[in-house]
Amino acid sequence: ERVIAAKGSKRVMLKNNQQAKFDTVLVPIAQVALAPADRPDVAFDAFFTHILMHELVHGLGPHGITVGGRLTTVRQELKEASSAIEEAKADITGLFALQFLIDQGQLPKAMERTIYTTFLASAFRSIRFGISEAHGRGQAVQLNYLLDRGAVVVNADGTFAVVAEKIREAVAALAGDIMTLQAAGDYAAARTMLDTFGVIRPETQAVLPRLGSDLLELF
């Protein structure tokens, strides 16, 4: 927090590395986890740009905060819940930021069709490692929140799909919830969010074995 406050933050992205990850891992995962109609909307530009926004958003939002009249940090107040909450924040607020940039004409309008479906496929890329790691648990929080909001649905065949008319509102709501509890340094709210949403539910667990052992070990 001290370095970010004094100097800001910098990100270096290796695009060829991400292209390999997309081709080798994400596309095969999409073929298993997503509904057939949604699979063509999994796109590298959406994947890479969301990762970029994820990293940028880590440097934004609450860091140094005031709780009960004392200066502190989000990390100190949220304790062991901080890492998973921060990863969820970066993901979902990065997705919100992508939509904002599309709405402002800074990114192609066509990307609006691909960002949410690519994000959904990428959720399984993180969750397949389990919820003992911050990225996996943070991603579980997001997926379950979106499912409960009806922004993502599970089809009869066990595949997942985005509900276009609900996804934007649900993404904005979760981004707001996370940023608010971070700004307040609300440890109880963070624990409740992780305990409620940071789990692998049966419909998600059913997909993971179908990914195959090779995909479970990559990236």
Query: Are residues 207 and 158 in contact, defined by beta-carbon separation less than 8 angstroms?
Result: yes
pLDDT at 146: 98
pLDDT at 132: 86
Query: Are residues 125 and 25 in contact, defined by beta-carbon separation less than 8 angstroms?
Result: yes
CA atoms within 13 A on the CB side of 55: 11
Query: Are residues 87 and 54 in contact, defined by beta-carbon separation less than 8 angstroms?
Result: no
Q: Which residue has the tokens 């607020």?
A: 93
For residue 66, what are the β-bridge partners?
Answer: 71
Distance (Å, rounded) from C-alpha 76 to C-alpha 63? 10
Query: Are residues 124 and 100 in contact, defined by beta-carbon separation less than 8 angstroms?
Result: no
pLDDT tens per residue across all 219 residues of the chain: 788 788 887 778 899 999 999 999 999 999 999 999 999 999 999 999 999 999 999 888 888 899 989 999 999 999 999 999 999 999 999 999 999 999 999 999 999 999 999 999 999 999 988 888 888 999 999 999 999 999 999 999 999 999 999 999 999 999 999 999 999 999 999 999 999 999 999 999 999 988 865 554 554
pLDDT at 183: 95
Instruction: Pull the structure tokens for residue 23.
Output: 């081709």
How would DSSP label each residue in 165-197? Answer: HHHHHHHHHHHHHHHHHHHHT-HHHHHHHHHHH
pLDDT at 26: 95
Burial (Cβ within 10 Å: 0-12, 13-18, ≥19) of residue 66? exposed
- At residue 139, the 3 state secondary structure works out as helix
pLDDT at 212: 66
- At residue 84, the 3 state secondary structure works out as helix
For residue 161, what are the β-bridge partners?
Answer: 153
